[in-house]
Amino acid sequence: MKTAEAEKQVAREHMNIVIAGHVDHGKSTVIGRMLADTNSLPQGKLEQIKERCRRNSKPFEYAFLLDALKDEQSQGITIDSARVFFSSAKREYIIIDAPGHIEFLKNMVTGASRAEAALLVIDAEEGVQENSRRHGYMLSMLGIKQVVVVVNKMDLVDYSEETYKNVKAEYTKFLADIGLEAIFVPVSGMAGDNIVSLSDKMSWYQGATVLESIDGFEKEPPAIDKPFRMPVQDVYKFTQAGDKRRLVVGTIETGQVSVGDELVFYPSGKKSTVKTVERFNVPQKDTAAAGEAIALTLDQQIYVSRGEVAARTSETKPEVTSRLSVNLFWMGRNPMVKGKRYLIKVGTMKEEVELEDVIRVMDGSDLEASETKDKVEHHDVAECVLSTKRAIAFDLAEEIAATGRFVVVDDYEIRGGGIIREGLKDEQVWVRDYVMRRNYKWETGEVSRDDRAERYSQRSSLVLITGQRGVGKKPLAKALEARFFTEGRFVYFLGIGNILYGVDADIKSQESEGNGQRQEHLRRMAEVANVMLDAGMILVVTAVGLTNEDLEVIQTAVDSRQINVVWMGDEPTDIPCDLVLPQNGDLSDAGEAIKTMLQDKGIIYRP
């Protein structure tokens, strides 16, 4: 049975604080002193380290305490930044030591460490250094607004008020330029001045101690009060014993969800209602909240995938677009350049991304702006526009940090990161808006996509055969349809003319309007394809000279994972192809090549 004291302890408030500073400015000493003066060390640890120093004829330093604790924790640490625990009379603290930019940024963005406040240490003798400014900028960029600047080593400058004021003035100006305010405290970590209690060596300072300053910080509102967001980690299906459940798995970043809630998954816009909330090996409840890793079953078998974001229909929805206005901090040795493909990770979503435009670049150490740069170099901070291959779902960082922060991956390594400031309109917005409405209203029958795949021994797929005029697209498409039909496949050939003079009969032809109506023709073709794919079919479509822009319109209406592009002949456009075939080649060989491609992708099952 818990004692009253234990229950009180459980109810105490917690706060994560990151500590940053230039090398040798005394971070470890400040932490060590904080641990010692708040009696947060394990019993006998202080005496043990002092005795060890005495035996080795080595002067004791409070930084050794941190080193000793890190050594002891090293086997149990699961994140890159070391964590140190201490208590004040008000609350429990976790200090996250950020030894490097990359680890700090990575852990902040991925949620491994979510700091609510920061201690930024500056050596009074050395003054403000480049890293002092870079760390300040990163705090600003990550939305950490509660900052104490610890002006350390005051004992080395004879506790000079003038020196302290100079450091404070210089760094205050820098912080103001990036929209941050901070509390400044002159301290000596070595002597313990102004860490936990005010020092009589600096009578000119009448402010709060470091401990009092962080105790004065406000705790962030619990994430449960924000709109529900659950990035989809994966979707599992079990087949044993007739279990047909599809489990949508993820960790709730903000808000809460209950059985009966109607959810929309973005960016697809598909909706369903929560049937059960599942947990592993714990008592089941009908409600889950921020921080919990859960699985949801839904009353309708919709098909969502990793990277989509679940939100409740009754709450604010996330933004969806393929163009992002961001603040980016770049740490790669090679610059981020236009025309190169990178990967962006927001929550569980991972998508190809390009640097579309550089609005402003600053050197993070001096905030010197360069208006003419067209790339982002090592340690630069940039306001820029990123363009993703497909639209993604996100929130603005200032509203929901968990789905508003990102990292950029290049060559399998995190090279940069930042926050999303604004979603910009893209060319597919007109298609995406109606597709989201269509998915939202979509009624599913009792036969699932898995049921159809099992019945037909195939997964539905759109085989898009394109190329210039007269290269043999239509004969190949018809031959392919006949071949698959003979082999027992559920297949259909859809000529573009069938669309033009059928569902497109109310709009002018492409010939009379040039390309003016081309995108609308493609949109309608994609809509027809979407219905036939939902029916479980392999759909073979031909179209003249499709470009990447055309494909993006089709991909917005049809799940891109179901599209396979075959280019015939020479003079390819910029469209990415899954297969390239010679013009007017042998139909049997061409059909065999397409069949092999579909088998390799698991669309047609091999015998």
Distance (Å, rounded) from C-alpha 20 to C-alpha 136? 9
Segment holding 500, helix H or strand E:
helix 496-500
Least confident of 97-106, 163-172, 499-508, 538-547: 97-106
Q: What domains lie within the chain, and their CATH numbers? A: 14-216 (3.40.50.300), 229-312 (2.40.30.10), 321-426 (2.40.30.10), 446-601 (3.40.50.300)
Structure tokens at 378: 């090592």
Contact yes or no for 239/226 (Cβ under 8 A): no
Beta pairing class for 262-266 and 270-278: antiparallel
Query: Residue 114: CA atoms inside 13 Å, Cβ hemisphere, count?
Result: 14
pLDDT value, residue 81:
52
Segment holding 132, helix H or strand E:
helix 130-141
pLDDT value, residue 2:
43
Distance (Å, rounded) from C-alpha 554 to C-alpha 494? 15
Whether the pLDDT of residue 513 is over 60: the answer is no
Distance (Å, rounded) from C-alpha 368 to C-alpha 372? 12
Mean pLDDT of 191-210: 93
The percent of residues in the chain predicted with pLDDT above 70, rounded, is 88
| Dihedral angle computed from the Cα positions of residues 94, 99, 101 and 107, in that order, rounded to the nearest 10 degrees | -40
The per-residue pLDDT for range 55-69, each reduced to its tens digit, is: 877 777 777 777 666
105 burial level (CB within 10 Å; 0-12, 13-18, 19+): buried
Q: How far is CA 323 from CA 171, 357, 399, 408, 417, in A?
A: 34, 10, 18, 15, 16
Q: Which residue has the higher pLDDT, 366 or 481?
A: 481
Mean pLDDT of 547-563: 83
pLDDT value, residue 438:
79
Indicate the average pLDDT of the chain. 84
Look up tokens 């933004």; give the residue.
Answer: 319
Distance (Å, rounded) from C-alpha 458 to C-alpha 490? 8
pLDDT value, residue 277:
94
Mean pLDDT of 282-300: 88
327 confidence band (pLDDT: 50, 70, 90) = confident
Least confident of 334-343, 362-371, 476-485: 362-371
80 confidence band (pLDDT: 50, 70, 90) = very low
Least confident of 204-208, 291-295, 448-452: 448-452
pLDDT value, residue 363:
66
Nearest Cα residue to 116 out of 84, 133, 88, 93? 93
Q: Which residue has the higher pLDDT, 260 or 105?
A: 260
Whether the pLDDT of residue 531 is over 50: the answer is yes
pLDDT value, residue 476:
95
Contacts of 253 (CB under 8 A, 6+ apart): 111, 223, 229, 230, 231, 290, 347, 400, 402, 403
Mean pLDDT of 20-48: 82
193 confidence band (pLDDT: 50, 70, 90) = very high
The percent of residues in the chain predicted with pLDDT above 90, rounded, is 41
Segment holding 361, helix H or strand E:
strand 349-363
Nearest Cα residue to 214 out of 86, 39, 369, 381? 86
Least confident of 73-87, 317-331, 484-498: 73-87
